[in-house]
Amino acid sequence: MKKIIELLNLEVMEAFEKAGYEKEYGAVTLSNRSDLCQYQCNGALAAAKKYKKAPIMIANEVLSILEKSSTFKEIKAIMPGFINIILQDSFLADYLNGMKNAEQFGVEKTKQPLKIVIDYGGPNVAKPLHVGHLRSAIIGESIKRIAKFAGHEVIGDVHLGDWGLQMGLIITELKKRTPDLVYFDDTFTGEYPEEPPFTISELEEIYPFANAYSKEHPEYREEAMNATFLLQSGKPGYMALWNHILNVSISDLKKNYEKLNVEFDLWKKESDAQPYIPDMVQYLKDHNYARISEGALVVDVKEETDTKEIPPCMILKSDGATLYNTTDLATIVERKKLFAPDAILYVVDKRQELYFEQIFRCAKKTKLIDETVNLTFLGFGTMNGKDGKPFKTRDGGVMRLEKLIQEITDAVYEKVMSNREMDQQEAREIAGKVGLAAIKYGDLSNQASKDYIFDLERFTSFEGNTGPYILYTIVRIKSILNKYQTEVGKINQDTQILGADSDSERELMLALVKFNEMIENAYSENAPHKVCQYIYDLSNAFSRFYHDTKIITENNKVKQNSWISLICLTEDILNTCIDLLGLEAPERM
């Protein structure tokens, strides 16, 4: 289905052409004075310069053509040459009926689907998930859903960090605590019990301890680096431990992501890219892309036009060790081989922007990936506390994701239970959904690249631009529809929506028809916040309509049926949108 703005463009452009002007001048935009009109065209002002004619004359000529059209209820030329547009109510209603009957409300799946890998989540094995990983998971998940809705083939990859120093630190600490474990026996050959020698909570205590300890004890750190090296060279006992760490950690991560309603298509890890490294390094050397600098192997990536210093991309350290860079480049090679993607999108903390710039340049310059593959970095800002500093627990530690979710759902639970009787289990379920919506919407409603302040009070409020308010709107619609069904009759899915006869009804319709355009923008700009802005406006429009309209007691059945159809459509679109954000609405709240 064509977007409403496209339909208007077509018609107004044609009129410009008929009146003897270039049709490009007929571009229509949303009105920036919604008190005066719904849409507007400013083309006559621009055309005036080219055709050396007063803009108002041009506008009037175009108008004489458009006045006959059934699209417009009112179309006027306003000094000095604006064209103000108010749509015919029946035109709006027809458009909505079209949306109602079309698949995906008229958003057609793209005819040129791209294969897109989205690299998001990025948790590190054995380290607890913290709020930084929360943002990547929430934003990446929503972008993935939006791209799928638009018709693309999307592969979401969690890209686990499982190959760094944290592994050596854990192994070193385990060795200190339990030197008798079979894994530390030099004759260990690879046969070992399935039972891991630690639990997830032990693991999560070990890593921060070892990390802190290594900062004060250089010899311990040295040992951990050596253990990392031995692991990466395939020492059987360490490989076995690494496997244990991985298994324990991944099953815990899966639980956490499930709670967040985040689902990955792939559970690939940094270590999976390691086999690609030797050939890649050889290739870079053979083609003279890489050079030795102070013993290290580097690729220069600076360009003439740079205004800031872009350091070379380091491939191997002087001792031959690989780095985060090496892994990311090898992962690009791996992804090319496995999926031949058209695009790879990285949803990572914006502090890694320069790093990714180096990686992208290096991959393109050395032809590890084709020039045509779109490599995009979507950097997100920091989630701050009310003090404007990165979000911490009350005692100053890094907030664990699980705890954060718990705190929020507890707060929502209190609200749900206050002043009424409700089954505890139901209240818990509601609090789970609403709490998650509070966190996710609080995050997604901001432009991803911006820092934002985590404000529990505001995010959990049932009023304002919040997740709970959106869910509450959906729940309200459900309850009206239930009431209608018990007090009036069955809902007829085929009922047509009729032209509006009140301002608030018209506003609701105008909000609904923007769906198609919103999806296109949210997809092309990787911008879930556009979905949030849309459903917030839509929810407000619904609330005003609902406030103004006595739906259940209306005597005019034709009108009443049309309203029911209209709010069914509103509910369906809201549900579709929250699904794109990764939220779910409860039955009541």
Q: How many CB atoms lie within 10 A of CB 176?
A: 12
Q: For the residues of 432-459, what is the DSSP string, one character each?
A: HHHHHHHHHHHHHTS-TTS-EE--HHHH
Residue nearest to ligand ARG (CB): 122
| Shortest CB 94 distance to ligand ARG, Å | 47
| Shortest CB 229 distance to ligand ARG, Å | 20
| Shortest CB 290 distance to ligand ARG, Å | 20
| Shortest CB 139 distance to ligand ARG, Å | 13
In the bound state with ligand ARG, the residue whose beta carbon lies nearer, of 124 and 539, is 124
Name residues whose C-beta falls within 8 Å of residue 204's C-beta, 6 or more positions apart in sequence. 126, 127, 128
| Shortest CB 136 distance to ligand ARG, Å | 7
Binding residues for ligand ARG (CB under 6 A):
119, 122, 124, 159, 161, 328, 346, 348
In the bound state with ligand ARG, the residue whose beta carbon lies nearer, of 168 and 435, is 168
In the bound state with ligand ARG, the residue whose beta carbon lies nearer, of 121 and 432, is 121
Spatial separation of the C-alpha atoms in residues 213 and 220, rounded to whole Å: 8
In the bound state with ligand ARG, the residue whose beta carbon lies nearer, of 77 and 329, is 329
Spatial separation of the C-alpha atoms in residues 204 and 363, rounded to whole Å: 35
List strand residue ranges (DSSP E) for 114-252, in order: 115-119, 153-157
In the bound state with ligand ARG, the residue whose beta carbon lies nearer, of 121 and 586, is 121
Residue type, 296: A
Left (φ > 0), alpha (ψ -120 to 50) or beta: where does 341 sit? beta
| Shortest CB 356 distance to ligand ARG, Å | 8
Q: How many CB atoms lie within 10 A of CB 220?
A: 17
How many contiguous H segments (helices) and E segments (strands) does the chain have?
A: 20, 13
**In 3D, which of 135, 140, 144, 137 has the Cα closest to residue 115?**
144
| Shortest CB 157 distance to ligand ARG, Å | 9
| Shortest CB 327 distance to ligand ARG, Å | 8
Give, in order, the Cα–Cα distances in Å from 334 to each of 159, 298, 340, 469.
12, 20, 9, 43
In the bound state with ligand ARG, the residue whose beta carbon lies nearer, of 57 and 323, is 323
Spatial separation of the C-alpha atoms in residues 90 and 70, rounded to whole Å: 9
Question: For 313, phi and psi rounded to 5 degrees?
Answer: -90, 120
The DSSP call for residue 466 is: S
Spatial separation of the C-alpha atoms in residues 21 and 271, rounded to whole Å: 62
Pairing of the two strands 115-119 and 343-349: parallel
| Shortest CB 346 distance to ligand ARG, Å | 6
In the bound state with ligand ARG, the residue whose beta carbon lies nearer, of 124 and 570, is 124
404, containing H or E segment: helix 401-417
Q: For the residues of 79-91, what is the DSSP string, one character each?
A: TTTEEEEEE-HHH
| Shortest CB 382 distance to ligand ARG, Å | 13
Spatial separation of the C-alpha atoms in residues 8 and 83, rounded to whole Å: 12
In the bound state with ligand ARG, the residue whose beta carbon lies nearer, of 246 and 348, is 348
In the bound state with ligand ARG, the residue whose beta carbon lies nearer, of 352 and 504, is 352
In the bound state with ligand ARG, the residue whose beta carbon lies nearer, of 137 and 210, is 137
